[in-house]
Amino acid sequence: MSQATALLSPTEVESARAKAQILLTGLDRTLLGQERLTRLVLVGCLARGHVLLEGLPGLGKTELVKALAALLGLSFKRLQFTPDLLPGDITGGPILEEDEHGKRKLVFHPGPVFCHVILADEINRASPKTQSALLEAMAERRVTVLGETHRLPEPFYVLATQNPIELEGTYPLPEAQLDRFLFKLEVPPVDRATLQAIITERRAGRSPEHERALSLEELRALFAAVDAIYLPPAVAAWIARLIEATHPSAATAPKLVKDFVRHGASPRAAIALAEASRAHALLAGKPNVGFDDVRAIAVSAVAHRLVLDYRARLEHVRGPDVVASVLAEVGELEDALPKGMKDAR
Amino acid sequence: MLPELDRSLRRLLARAKTAAWLEACARLAAPAVFVLGGWVLLARFALGQSRTAAAWSLAAFALVPVAAWFVARRRFLTPEAAVAWLDRRSGGSGALLTHFVLDDERWAGPARDALASIERLPRIAAWRDFRTTALGALFVGAAFVLDRAIVPTPPATQVALNRIDAASADLIALQEVVELAPETAKELEARLERLRDEGDAAPLDASLEAVDRTQEELARNADEALAAAERARDALSSAGAAEDAQATVDGINAALRDLKEAGLAAKLPKSLLERLDPGSLQLPDGVKLSAQELAQLSDELAAALDARMERLAKAGLVGKAQLERFRELERFSDHVCDGECKRAGVCKGAGRANAAPGRGGVSRGRGDAELTWGDEAVGKSDEFTAKALDPATMLDPESTAIVGLAANAPTVDAQGESAGGANVEASGGQGVWRRRLAPHHRDAVQRFFSGPRRE
C-alpha cells in the first residue's frame, strides 16, 4: 500500500471518526473505566492488527473481545487454550468422508480459526507447538494443512489473553509470535468509583448486549480511511529513528537499551507503529499522523517486541521502561536547532 | 502555503542560520584569538616587533567569520526540519507538516490553529558561546599591554644582576671610606655599568667571572686600606708611648702619612682636618701642642679610623676578625705603662703594665702570661662563618625553566645543590667529584684556607 498523496476531505474524516466513535462508545459501555484500553483495542482493530491482552482474571478481557466482535457483526469464536490443545484443534483437519457414491475421501474441516474474530483465551497455557499453529494464520491470514492452503476470512483478528500471575504450567509466547501481535496491552485494575459502577450496573456480571454497529462494507470503508491517512516524512523518519534506537548496537540507543536489551524491535514493529498511528490519527479526527499519535501508541506497539537480557529481569527493567527511555531520548527532530537559539516557551 | 506559516518559516530559518553562523564563529574564534595573542607575544618579545607592527597580525582574525560561514553552511536548518520544529512546538499534531507538503486548503484551519499556538519563535542567544573568545581577547589585550620590563628575568641572569648589585654596593662603601684614584674609581664604575647593561646577552660565566674580579679588586683596595689603617694605628700607639712631645708629633705625622698614602686621609672628620696642614695633611711645623692635646688628637684619629674600618666591615669588605684585630692593636702596642707613666692623666691603663696579663699559649699572648694548655686557639673552621652561595653558573641555561618570580635572589641549599646548579647525589664521592666550582665559590674556598681575613 503506497503512501497517500491526497488528504481525505474533512467530511470523510469526520464520517470515519463518527463510525469509529460508535464502536468506541460500545466498548466503553462494556468495559467501564478503561477508556485508554478500549481506545487502543479499537486502534488495533482499525489497523487490522492482533492484540494481546494481559491482566489478572476478572478484569473483563473476554467481555471486551466479545463486545468488539458483536459491535463489528463479525463471526466470533472463543478458543480456550489448554496444555492438551493440539494444532489441529485450531486449524481443523482432513476427515475421511464417504460421498453419495460410496467413495471415501479426505475432506478438510475448518477449525475454529476460520472466523473473523478469535478469542484465544489464556493463550500461554497451550504448548508451543499449538501456539505456533497460529503463526501463519496471524501473519499471512491463511492456514496450510497437509500442503493445502486455506485463506482465512477478511478481516481476521486474534485477540488473545494471558494471565501474568499463574506461571506454573504455562508456556511463554515465543518472540516470533509476540512480534505478530500489533499491541500487547496490559489491563490495569479499576479504581473504586468504577468498581462501584460495575457492581451497580452489572447484576450477576452480565454485560450489556450489543447490536451490530457497522456493516462489513462500512467496516471496509473505515479501513480504507485508515489507509488514506497521510504519514508525513518527518514523522516516518522519527518512527525509523525510534525503532533503530531500540537496538543496543545503534549509536543513538539510550543507556537503558545498551544495558538491558539483547535484540531490538523488528521492521515489523516500525510498520505496526506507522499503521497504528494512522488509526490513532483517524480516531482523533485528523487526516494525517502527527508526532503525538506515535507517542501515544509507541509503548503498546513496541515494548513486547524487545528481547531483554537477564540483567533486565534482575534490575526489574521492563519493556515499557525501555521504550519510554527511547521516546525521551530520541527527539522528534533529526536536525536540532543551533545551540545558540533560546526557546522561550 | 499559508502566509503566516511562510512568514514564521522564513523567520525561523533566518534566525537558525544566524545562530549557526554565530556558533561556528564562537567555535573558531576562541582558538584563533589565543593563537593571535601568542603570536603577538612572540612578535613583540622574540622577534622585537613594535606594537603597531604586531597589531597588523590581528587582521588575520577577519578570516574567522568567513570560515565560520562555510562551516555553518553545512549545518543550516532545512525548511523541512524547520516545519517539523514548528509542528512539534505546536503540539505535534502533524497539521503543519502535512500542510507544508500537501498544501491542502481544506485542512488550513488546523494548520492555522497549530501556528497560532506558538507564542514566540526561539531567539538568538549565542553570546554565551563567546565567553572563551572574550577570555582570548583579554589575552590579546594583555599581549599588547605587557611590557618587556615585567617579562621575568631568567634566573641565571638574575643571579648575575644580584652579584653586580652587591659589587656596586661594595664600591660605594669603599668610596665612602677610601679616596680611590679617580681613574680607578671611574674604571670600576664603568665596568659594573657595562656588566649590568649587557644583562643576559653576555655569557653568564663571563659575567660572573668579571664580577668576581671586580669584587676581588675592591677587596684588595679594602685590604690595603686596612693595612694602612693598622700601620697608622701602630704609629699612633707608638706616639702615645713616646716620652717627648716631638716623638709624639712624629708618630702622629707618620700615621697621617700612612693614611694619606692609602687614600684614607681625605675623608677624615672636619675637626681633625682643621688642625692639619691642608696641603701635606701633616701637623704644621713648629706647632706646640701639649701632651694632652696630642693625646686627644691621637685618640680622635684612632676613633676616625675605627669608624672607617667598621664601615668597611659592615659592607663585608673587611672581616669581623680583622676588625677585632684592628681594635686590639692598641692593647698590644709598644706602650708599656709601668705605673709611673709620664703621660699620667692621658694613659688609659690599657697597656700591658696596668692590665692583667691574660691567658696565653705557646704561639700567642704576652710572655708573662700564664700558659694555658686548652682552648688556646680557635680552629679555622670555627672562625669561618658558613655562607650559602647562590649557584655560580647554569650549565645549560636553555634547559632551565622559570619556577617563580621573586624580588630577591633564590634561596639555595648549598649542601644539596652543586655549583653548576644541577642536583647531585649528596652521598657518594661522585657528586663532589663532578662539582664544578665557579669563581666566587672558588673564592670562598680560598678564604677558608687563607686565614682569618674575611668570613
Interface of B with A in 112-171 (CB under 8 A): 119-120, 122-126, 129
Say how far apart CA A298 and CA B126 lie, in whole Å.
35
pLDDT at residue B171, as a whole number: 87
pLDDT at residue B224, as a whole number: 84
pLDDT at residue B455, as a whole number: 41
Cis, bond preceding B452 (omega within 30 deg of 0): no
Share of chain A above pLDDT 90, in %: 43
Mean pLDDT for all residues in chain A: 88
- Judged on CB neighbours under 10 Å (0-12, 13-18, 19+), B449 is exposed
| CB proximity list for B62: less than 8 A, separation 6 or greater | none
**Sheet hosting strand A181-186, strand order edge to edge:** A76-80, A117-121, A157-162, A50-54, A181-186
From the candidates B9, B98, B101, which should be mutated to test the interface with A, based on the most A CB atoms within 10 A? B98
Length of chain B equals 455
**Which residue would you say has higher pLDDT here, B320 or B363?**
B320
- Report CB contact under 8 Å: A234, B77: no
Quick one: DSSP state of residue B370? E
- Report CB contact under 8 Å: B16, A341: yes
Give pLDDT tens digits for B276-285.
777 777 777 7
Number of Cβ within a 10 Å radius of residue B195:
22
Give pLDDT tens digits for A93-125.
888 888 888 888 888 899 999 999 999 988 888
Residues A165, A56 contacting (CB under 8 angstroms): yes
Residue B370's φ and ψ, nearest 5 degrees, are -70, 135
- Find chain B residues with C-beta within 8 A of A337's C-beta: 16, 19, 77, 85, 122
Cell of B385: 662563618
**Which residue would you say has higher pLDDT here, B286 or B454?**
B286
Quick one: DSSP state of residue B149? G
Burial B110-149 (b: 16+ CB within 10 A, else e): bbbebbeebeebbebebeebbeebeebbebbeebeeeeee
Say how far apart CA B231 and CA B219 lie, in whole Å.
18
Mean pLDDT (whole number) for A144-166: 86
Q: Are strands A261-263 and A307-308 parallel, antiparallel or unpaired?
A: antiparallel
Residues β-bridged to residue A93 = A109
Q: Write the residue in A289, A333, A343 that is nearest to B94 by C-beta.
A: A289
Give pLDDT tens digits for A193-250.
988 988 888 877 777 888 888 888 899 999 999 999 999 999 999 999 999 999 999 9
Closest residue in A to B81 (Cα) is A335
**Domains of chain A (ranges plus CATH)?**
18-227 (3.40.50.300), 229-334 (1.10.8.80)
- Find chain B residues with C-beta within 8 A of A332's C-beta: 84, 88, 92
Give pLDDT tens digits for B373-424.
665 556 666 666 777 766 554 455 555 566 667 777 666 554 444 444 444 4
Which conformational region is residue A103 in: left (phi greater than 0), alpha (psi within -120 to 50 degrees), or beta?
Answer: beta
Sign of the alpha-carbon torsion through A211, A217, A221, A227: positive
Residues B405, B350 contacting (CB under 8 angstroms): no
B324-332: list long-range contacts, CB under 8 Å, 24+ apart: B326/B226, B326/B229, B326/B230, B326/B233, B329/B230, B329/B233, B329/B234, B329/B237, B330/B233, B330/B237, B330/B302, B331/B355
Quick one: DSSP state of residue B354? T
Give the lowest-confidence range in A209-218, B80-89, B151-160: B151-160
- Report CB contact under 8 Å: B98, A291: no
- Report CB contact under 8 Å: A339, B23: yes
- Report CB contact under 8 Å: B101, A232: yes
| CB proximity list for B158: less than 8 A, separation 6 or greater | B409, B410
Task: Check CB contact of B349 with chain A, cutoff 8 Å.
Answer: no
Res B271 pLDDT > 70: yes
Residues B81, A334 contacting (CB under 8 angstroms): yes
ipTM: 0.81
Say how far apart CA A276 and CA A283 lie, in whole Å.
11
Give the lowest-confidence range in A157-171, A315-329, B234-248, B359-373: B359-373
Min Cα separation B5/chain A (Å): 17
Cell of A98: 464417504
Cα diameter, chain B: 145
DSSP string, B409-427: PPP--TTTB-TTS-B--SS
- Find chain A residues with C-beta within 8 A of B84's C-beta: 234, 332-334
Mean pLDDT (whole number) for A323-340: 85
Going by pLDDT thresholds of 50, 70 and 90, the confidence category of residue A326 is: very high
Cell of B33: 584569538
* Residue A100, CA atoms < 13 Å, CB-side half-sphere: 0
Going by pLDDT thresholds of 50, 70 and 90, the confidence category of residue B332 is: very low
Mean pLDDT (whole number) for B7-35: 88
Cell of B127: 553570546
Say how far apart CA A267 and CA A273 lie, in whole Å.
10
Mean pLDDT (whole number) for A318-324: 93
Residues B249, B294 contacting (CB under 8 angstroms): yes
Q: Are strands A50-54 and A157-162 parallel, antiparallel or unpaired?
A: parallel
Interface of B with A in 64-83 (CB under 8 A): 75, 77-78, 80-81, 83
Residues A178, A308 contacting (CB under 8 angstroms): no
Cell of B223: 685590604
- Report CB contact under 8 Å: A288, B81: no
**Which residue would you say has higher pLDDT here, A14 or B382?**
A14
Say how far apart CA B276 and CA B280 lie, in whole Å.
8
- Report CB contact under 8 Å: B104, A292: no
Res B208 pLDDT > 70: yes
Share of chain B above pLDDT 70, in %: 70
pLDDT at residue A249, as a whole number: 93
Q: Are strands A104-110 and A92-98 parallel, antiparallel or unpaired?
A: antiparallel
Q: Can you give the residue ranges of every domain in chain B?
A: 3-150, 152-374
Interface of A with B (CB under 8 A): 5-7, 9-10, 230, 232-235, 281, 286-293, 295, 332-335, 337-345
Going by pLDDT thresholds of 50, 70 and 90, the confidence category of residue A164 is: confident
Cell of A45: 482493530
Residues B59, B65 contacting (CB under 8 angstroms): no
What's chain A look like in SS3? CCCCCCCCCHHHHHHHHHHHHHHHHHHHHHCCCCHHHHHHHHHHHHCCCEEEEECCCCCCHHHHHHHHHHHHCCCEEEEECCCCCCHHHHHEEEEEEECCCCCEEEEEEECCCCCCEEEEECHHHCCHHHHCHHHHHHHHCEEEECCEEEECCCCCEEEEEECCCCCCCCCCCCHHHHCCEEEEEECCCCCHHHHHHHHHHCHHHCCCCCCCCCCHHHHHHHHHHHHCCECCHHHHHHHHHHHHCCCCCCCCCCHHHHHHEEECCCHHHHHHHHHHHHHHHHHCCCCECCHHHHHHHHHHHHHHHCEECHHHHHCCCCHHHHHHHHHHHCCCCCCCCCCCEECCC
Say how far apart CA A259 and CA A254 lie, in whole Å.
9
Give the lowest-confidence range in A2-11, B33-42, B323-332, B368-377: B368-377
pLDDT at residue B398, as a whole number: 55
Say how far apart CA A185 and CA A41 lie, in whole Å.
8
Residues A280, A44 contacting (CB under 8 angstroms): no
pLDDT at residue B339, as a whole number: 45
How many A/B residue pairs have CB atoms within 8 Å? 118
Min Cα separation B12/chain A (Å): 10
The alpha carbon of B290 is separated from its chain's Cα centroid by a whole number of angstroms, namely: 55
Say how far apart CA A30 and CA A8 lie, in whole Å.
31
Sign of the alpha-carbon torsion through A45, A46, A50, A52: negative
| CB proximity list for B154: less than 8 A, separation 6 or greater | B200, B397, B400, B402
Say how far apart CA B420 and CA B432 lie, in whole Å.
11
Give pLDDT tens digits for B111-137.
888 888 887 888 887 777 788 888 888
Residues B64, B25 contacting (CB under 8 angstroms): yes
Min Cα separation A289/chain B (Å): 6
Mean pLDDT (whole number) for B236-252: 73
Res B357 pLDDT > 70: no
Q: What do you get for the CA distance between the two ends of chain B, in Å?
A: 100
